[in-house]
Amino acid sequence: MLTLIALGVLGGIALAGGAMAITLRNPIYAVLSLVVGMLGIAGVYFLLGAEYLGAIQVIVYAGAILVTFLFVVMLVSLAPEDIPPIPRGMPLYITLLVAGGWMGVLAYALRSVVDLPTPAQAQNTDSDLPYLYGTLPPVSKTLFTAYAFPFELLSVTLLIGLIGASLLVQKRPTYES
């Protein structure tokens, strides 16, 4: 029961960090709230017994990639008037509809997650060296066999996010008549 409560709290932290990242108008605060979201996700990984993935989440995503994002945002030094307003009306509803549709596709595709191995089953590496659990060989074996499809869906989601971010920061050409 305590694990379920902790999972809910960490999931709430991750969701709140992600929601603040897309709603805050100050880009620096948005990146920092994304760091909070990534730390919440890392906490979920740690809670589920995936210490290696949690450490990679903190080191690679929250530590390296988002710090790089923060430096880029600081170097670009956007003024408040450079940031376009949040779209209203039809563009907002189309965006929400596409995001909801993608969430539905992911939920449908990941319905087989209940059939994935438990942490105890994944710990069995067909090896006489049980101390290797949590190191790269058993994690990579499990990641690229039992969890290959969810891993690829996550990479597509990250690719869509990167394309969306690059489209959002693109400067609109100004034409002189």
pLDDT given for residue 132 in this prediction: 52
| Alpha-carbon torsion (102, 105, 107, 109), positive or negative | negative
Residue 176, pLDDT > 80, answer no
For residue 49, the one-letter residue type is G
Residue 54, pLDDT > 70, answer yes
Percent of the chain with pLDDT over 70: 73
pLDDT given for residue 167 in this prediction: 74
Which tens digits make up the pLDDT trace of 64-105? 787 777 777 777 776 667 666 766 777 778 878 888 888 888
Residue 127, pLDDT > 90, answer no
Q: How far apart are CA 6 and CA 41, in angstroms?
A: 12
Average pLDDT over every residue of 48-53 = 78
Helix (H) or strand (E) holding 103: helix 90-109
Percent of the chain with pLDDT over 90: 7
Which tens digits make up the pLDDT trace of 136-169? 677 777 777 877 787 788 888 878 877 877 777 7
Contact between 44 and 7 (Cβ < 8 Å): yes
Structural domains of the chain ordered from first start: 1-83 (1.20.120.1200)
Nearest to 135 by CA among 61, 56, 38, 44: 56
Q: Which of 73-97 are b and which e, b meaning 16 or more Cβ less than 10 Å from the residue's Cβ?
A: beeeeeeeeeeeeeeeeeeeeeeee
